[in-house]
Amino acid sequence: MRLHCPICGERDRREFYYQGAAVMLERPGPDAGAAAWDDYLHLRDNTAGDLDELWSHDAGCGAWLRVTRNVSTHEIKTVVLAREIKR
């Protein structure tokens, strides 16, 4: 599997660190309550189709990427710099 880093171009999967579902971009506020934090930290849709996820280009530019990937076929749909989503 290869990911297209918007900064570095197409690179081997081994250059990237996987964080998981991109829920981390939707961090609840400190007073959001236990249910919201449980949802954020633990509960997942865990879809078998297209998933938004966070990857870091650790062995490259170090940027955080939001990758939309089909987790059954491993087809990469889109790659966007996380900083452009979460300013």
Partner 1 sequence: MRFSGLKVLTEGLTGNKGWGPHWRSPEPKSEYDIVLIGGGGHGLATAHYLAKVHGLTNVAVLEKGYLGGGNVGRNTTIVRANYMLPGNSEFYSHSLKLWEGLEEDLNYNVMHSQRGIINLVHSDGQRDAFVRRANSMCGQGDDGAILDRAGVEKLLPFLDFDQTRFPIYGGLYHRRGGTARHDAVAWGFARSASDRGVDLIQQCEVTGIDVVNGVVKGVQTTKGPIRAKKVGMIAAGRSSQVAAMAGLRLPIESHVLQAFVTEGLKPCLDHVVTFGMGHFYISQSDKGGLVFGGDLDMYASYAARGNLPLVEHVAEAAMTLMPVIGKAKMLRSWGGVMDMSPDGSFIIDKTEIEGLFVNTGWCYGGFKATPASGHTFAHLLATGNPHPTTVRHRLDRFRTGRGLMDEEATGSQHNLH
Give the footprint of partner 1 on this chain (CB under 8 A). Answer: 1, 12-14, 18-21, 34-35, 38-39, 41-48, 51, 53, 71-74
- Residue 42 or residue 87: which is nearer to partner 1 going by CB? 42
Minimum distance of partner 1 from residue 79's CB (angstroms)? 14
> Residue 15 or 87: which CB sits closer to partner 1?
15
Query: Is the Cβ–Cβ distance between 80 and 71 less than 8 Å?
Result: no
Query: Residue 61: CB partners within 8 Å, gap ≥ 6?
Result: 5, 7, 8
User: Which H or E element spans position 71?
Assistant: none
